[in-house]
Structure 1
Amino acid sequence: MWYICITMKRLQTILIFAIICCNTIIVSAQNITVDDTYNAQQLVENVLVNSSCATVSNYVASGDNLPVGRNSYGYFTNAGGSFPFKDGVVLSTSYAKKSIGPYDTNLVNIVGNDGDGAWSGDADLNQTLGINTVTATVLEFDFTPLTNFLSFDYIFASIEYYDTSPCSYSDGFAFLIKENIPGTTYKNLALIPGTTTPVSSKNIHPAVPQGGCPAVNEQYFNGYNNSTSPINYSGQTVVMNAQTDVVAGKSYHIKLVIANDRNEFYDSAVFLKAGSFAPKIDLGPDRLRDNPVCFGESLVIDTKLSATYAYKWFKNNVEIIGETKPSYTVTDTGAYSVEVIFSPATCSAFGKINIEYTPKIILSDTSLTQCDDNGDGITVFNLTRADNIIKNNDATLSPVVYYETLANAQGKINPIQTPDLYTNKPANPILFARVTNTFGCANYAQLNLVIANNAIAPQNPVSTCDADSTQDGLYQFDLNAQVTPQVLTGLPPGMIVEYYLNPTDGVYQKYMLPNIFKNTTAHQQLIYARIVNGADCYGIIPITLVVNTFSPSNFQDETAALCMGATTILSVASGFSSYLWNTGGTTNSIIVTTSGNYSVKVTDINGCEKTKKFTVTSSGAATITGASVNDFSGNENSVLIEYTGVGNYEFSLDGSYFQDNPMFTGIAPGNYLAYARDKNGCGLSAPFQIYVLDYPRFFTPNGDGYNDAWKIKNLDLFPKAVIMIYNRYGKLLTQFNTSNAGWNGKLNNSELPADDYWFNLNFGDGKIIKGHFSLKR
C-alpha cells in the first residue's frame, strides 16, 4: 500500500508537469512570467534593493524544489497585463511557476504541496500569525541602509479565498525585521494599516455566504480571479505597503516568509514589488487639508541624516538656493522635496512632502468697561460679552478662552474658569484671549478691562399713582417710558438703560427687571439703573420709585333722587386740588335739574385722581288708584294698595305706620284711609278710603247688651245688599237689608235653639258671599 501511495504521488507530479508544460505553451501574454532560477543574492541585490545606497549580505532563500528543479521563490515579470507590478520577487507555498495565470480552479483544488511531504512551516511565522504553518518559503538577508526609512509594496494572493476557506484557514505572510544584535526580537511590518493585525487570508476577505462568515477588512481585498487572471490564485489583496523608520548605518536582519495554515492544500503567494528596498527619505506625512500647519508657525522637515552628505532642497520643483543642510524650515505652503547624495557611496535618494498652511485667524483686540459699585477699583466683568467682538463673529472658531498672561495663553495654563464672573485685578488690566480654528491652530487677542468713572447726576424720584382698586401702595411702572428718559438726559446718544433690584445684580447683569415693573415694597422702593454703552457699563445709579395712594372717604358710587319740578345738589368734599364734573363743572358741587348719570373726577396734590359716580333718578308723589281687598276671610283679610308714580314709595293704612310693601295682611274689618309716601321726600298721596268687611262667627242673644244681634258691620255702605239666613236644613228663616239692625235669633218672635246657621249675602252687583255662624244660648 505504501508503494502504491508513493507511486500515485509521483504519478500526480508527472501529471502536474504535463499540465504545466501544456499551460506554458498556451500562456497568454497578459499573464505574469516567473523565472525560478534566481538565487537569494540575485533576488535581493538585483530585484528588491538594486541600489548602492544600502548594503546587503548574508542572503538565504529556502522553501521547496519539487518538482525537481522548481523553486518556491523566483523573479516575476508582467508583460503588459493587468497585474499592478511590473516585476518583482514572488514567494509561494508551492513551486513559484505555479503562480503563472490564468486562475485554474480544476488544477489548484486537487494539487497539494507538489509531492514534498517533508516541506515544513516556519516558527517565526507561527508566532507572528498564531497558527501552525507548513510549506514555508523564506527569503532573508542582512541590510544596512544609508537612509532613515524603509518601505516596500506587496500583494498577498491565495487560493484560500476559494469557497469558505478564509473563514477557517489563515495562510499568511510576514515582513520581519530586527537589529543585528544578539537577543533582539523580530518586528512584523506586514500589517493591516493602522492596526497590529497581520496580513492573512483570514484577516482580509469579503463576506462569505452560505454558512460562511462576515467580511473582515474587506476594503483591502481586491477581488476574486477567473480564467483571465494574470496569476493563478482565486483572490488577492490590494497593493499593501509595509514601512518602518530605520537608523542610517545600522545593520538589520530581514526575513520575508510565507506559509500555509495547517495543511498543504490551497496555496498562497506574496508578490514583492521590485525596487521596494530602494533608498527613501522620509520627511514625514503630508500636511494637507486634514492636517495643515498653523499660520505663522514654522515646520522643520528633517532627513535625520549626516551633515556630511550633500543636500539639495526644492520648493515646487525649484531648487532653494543656499539650503544644503540635512533639514529645512518651512514657513509657507508648497510641495517640498530633497535630494541626498551619499558619500562615499555616491548614490542618491529622494524625499518629498506636501505642506499646506491654514489661513490666518483674524481676531480683534477690544475693551470691556465695567462699573464699580463701591469705588474700590475692583468689580466683576462678564468677559464673554467680548467673545463675538474678538472673533469678528466668526462662528467657525472655537469658544474664546481667557488668560491673565500671554505666556499662560500660549501654554494653555491656568485659564480663567468663570469668564462670566471675573473679578479684575487692578494691577493686571489686560487679559489675553485664545481662540483656535477647526485644526487646533491658535491666535491671540488682547482684552483691556476698564473701570467706568462717569459721573451721572442724582436722579429725582419717579412717582406714580396707585390706580387700581386696592390702594396698597403697589403699582406697576413702565420703566422705559417713565424712568429712562430722565436717566439719559444729558448723556451721549446710543446709551441703553437696564434696571436691577440692587447694585450687585447690576454689576453682574443678573436678574434684570422687566420693563413693566410692579414695585415689591409698598409706597417707595429703590432700584438701580445700569447705563450700557454697547457691551460696556457706563454707570450705575439708584432710582427711587414712589407709589402715591389716594383714597378719599365717602367716594363710593351714589344714587340721588330728583323731585319732579325741583332741583338737587350733588357734591363731594372740598379741599382737593381740582374737580371736573362730566357737566363741565369745576367746583365741589353742582345743581342738577334733570335725572341721569353724573360723575366728578377729583385730583390730589400728587396728581392722583379719583372718580365718583352719581345716578340721579326722578321722583314724585304717588296717586292711589284703588285697592284690592280680600275680606270675609277672618285673619286672612288683606288689602293691596294700587298706585301710580315714578318715585320710591312706602305705604300706610293709618297715616302713622308706613311699610315698603303695598300689601297689608291680617287686616281687621273696618274703615281705613290708605296713603303712599315718596321715600325721597317728594310728597304724600291723597288719602284713599278702604272698607274691610267681615261677619261675626257667633252671637249670643241673651239680652246682656253684648252680641245680642248678628249683623255685618259697615254693610250700610252697600245699600243694595240683601242677607238671607237659613237653618242647617236650608230653611229660610229671615231676610233683611242693610237698614235692618240685624237678626236677633228669633223666628216669629220665638227663640231659635243654639245651633249653626247659614247666610247668603248678595251685594246686588253680582258679588255673593256665603258662610255660616253659631247661635249660642
Structure 2
Amino acid sequence: MISKYLMGIGGLIVALFIGLAGYAQNGSVGDPIINITFGTATDPDFGGGTTTYFHNQTSELNDGEYRLGSNINQGRMGWHNLRDHTNEQNEGMMLIVNASYDAGEFYRIRVSGLCQDTRFRFSAWIANANRAEECDGNPIPPNVRFVVEDLNGNVVSSPYATGNIQATSSPLWQQYGFEFDTGNQSEFDLVLINDNPGGCGNDLAIDDIQFRPYGPQLSLIMDETFRQVDTLFFCESDATPITLSAEIISDDSYATAPAYQWQTRQEGQVSWIDMPGKNNPQLSITPTPNQWYRLTAAATMGNLDNLLCRISSDSIRLARSVPQADIADMEMLGPICDDSSIQLDPPEYTGANVGPLTYQWLLDDGNGVSELPGATSTDYEFQAREAGAVRLLRQAVNGCGDPFITHIFEVEVAETIHAAFTLPQDMICVDDEPLLLSGGILVNSDGEGVYSGNGVVDGRFYPTLAGAGEHTITFSPPPGTLCTEPSQAIITVLDSIYLEPMAEIVLLRGQHITLRPQTDASQFRWSNEPGLDNYRIQNPVASPDETTTYTLTAANSAGCEKVVDVKVTVLKDLSVPNSFTPNGDGFNDTWQIDGLEEYPNVVIQVFNRWGTLVFSSKGYSIPWDGSFNGAPLPMATYYYTLSSDVLPQPISGSISILK
C-alpha cells in the first residue's frame, strides 16, 4: 500500500521503502532526473557527485579507496570477473569500492527543482565484489544504506538499507532502492552510505544510480489485434483515425486530480514534444508512419508544467502494415513413414513492418490446396497417412487481411512394409531337432522377410540354444527397408526329461526280472516285444524265453519324449562234458563247455580225488587242457564246481581225463 501524506507536519517527508532486488515494478516512472552511469573507459564521469573515499585509479584498491572501472577485478585481481552493468559491450564504467573500517559515504549527489507532494524513486545496481571462497570462505558482506537529507544535512526520511549482500560463487548484479514523497520540499541530497565495517570483504561495485518520478501504473489501451510489442500498425488504405486511451490505477498521490499531457516524437528523435491541447486520457490521431506517442501524468496540474515531476506510460509507434510477397524457396524433408509424423517448426515471420500475424497451414496433395483444420500455430505436426510426396505451406495473414506464404515444405512419405507371421508350431521340446521357421509373409511386398530372435539361426529355431521358456520370434522385412512393421509370435520351449541309459540284463531261461529305468518321466510306452507283464508302466516284469531288446519311450506331461533300449539276454542251459582226451591228436583235446562264456562272472574249479585244486579260472575264455602247473595230469576222474551270478547255486560234477 502507498502511504498517505502526513498532513500538518511542515517539511516532513513520508517515505515508502521497497527493496528492488527480485521486486517486480508495478507502477510507472518518468524520465530519469539523475542517471549516474559513470561514463565509459574513454570518457569516465563521476556524475557530479562526491564521496568520502580516496580515489586510486592506478593500483589495487586498499580499504577506503575507490576507482572507476569497466570490470570489478580492476579493483583487485582476486575479485569477481564482472563487467559494467550499463554498457557491457562498450567498456562502460562503474564505481568500484574497497570499503573502509568506518562508515563512509560511497556517493552523494544533490537533486533540485523537484515538485512538492510528488513521489520519486531512488535506486542503484550493486554487486558484491568478493568471491564466496575469499577470506577463508567468510568475507564480510556489504550493507548499503540509502539516505535522503535536506540541505542542512538533516535526514528527512527513514533510511533504507540493502541488508547484507552475501558473496556468491558467480558474480551477480542486483537492483536496490526505495520510493518516497517530497512533501513540501523540492531539493534534497541523495546519499549511499557504507553500513558494515571494513576488513576482509565488504568490497562492492555500484552502477546506474537513478532518481526519477514514480507513480501508479499508467497503461495505454488500443486495438491489440494491430499491436506488436511497441508498435501499432494500420492498414495501407485505411485513413480512419486511431484512438489511444489511457488508464491510471487509482493511487492516493494522484487520486484527487491527476493531470495528463500527450507527447509525440518522430522515429530517430530523442526528445519528446508536448502535443498542445492534448490533456485528456483519450487521443484520436490520423495514422502517420513512424510517429511515436506516449501519455505523461502528474499529481496536479501545477506539477504537470515541470517535466521533472511527470510519470509516463510506455510509448507506442505507429507503422503502416506492408503486404509481403510469397516465399518461393521450398525445403525438402523426409522420407518419413506413412504411419509416422514430422514436426514442422519454422521461425515466426519477421519481415519489416509486417505487423501482427495469424497463421494457417495449407495442404497441397496434388489435387488442390486446402486448409488444415485447427492448424493455426506457427508450427505444425504433420501426420502421414499414405505414401507419396505431399506439400505443406504455412500461410500468414496480417492484421489487414493480406495473406502470404512464409514457408513451403515438401515431405516424402515412404510406404510401410507390413509383415504377418504364424508359427508352424508354438510349442517345442528343448531336446527336439531345430525347427525350420515358416509362416511369415510380407503383406504388401514381393520381397523375402527375415526371422530373428533368441535361438534363431539361419531361419531355424534351435530350442537347445534358446533354452526352456517363452521366446519371441520376429518376422521382419529385409534389412535396409526404411519403413517396416514386423510381426511377432511366441514359441514355448518345454523342459526335457531325465532318462538314464540302461545296462544289459542276463537271465537264465525261466527266470524273470523287474526293469527299472532311472527317469523323471510320468508317461511310459514299452515296445511290443513279448515277455513283459505290462507295457504302460515304468517298471514292468520281464520274463522272455529268448534274448530280447525292449525299447522304452518315456515322456513328461508336456509330451517331451526320450527313448532308451535295454537288452535282456536269456542264457542257454549249460551242457558240461564229463570227459575229454588231451592227447594232442587235435580232437577233444580241451574241456569245451558250450555257452559258458555268456554267463557273467563265472568261476570254475577242478580238484583231484585227494581234494587238491588242479585248475581254477574266472571266466572261461581259454578252455582247460588237462594240465596242472604246465604238466599233463594222469588219466583219472576229477571233480569240478561251477558258479555264476545268474546261477541260483553252483553246479558240481566229475570230469574224466582219458588218453
Tell me the TM-score normalized by structure 1: 0.22
Larger Rg: 1 or 2?
A: 1
Structure number with the bigger relative contact order (C-alpha 8 A, sep ≥ 6) is: 2
Calculate the TM-score normalised by the size of structure 2: 0.25
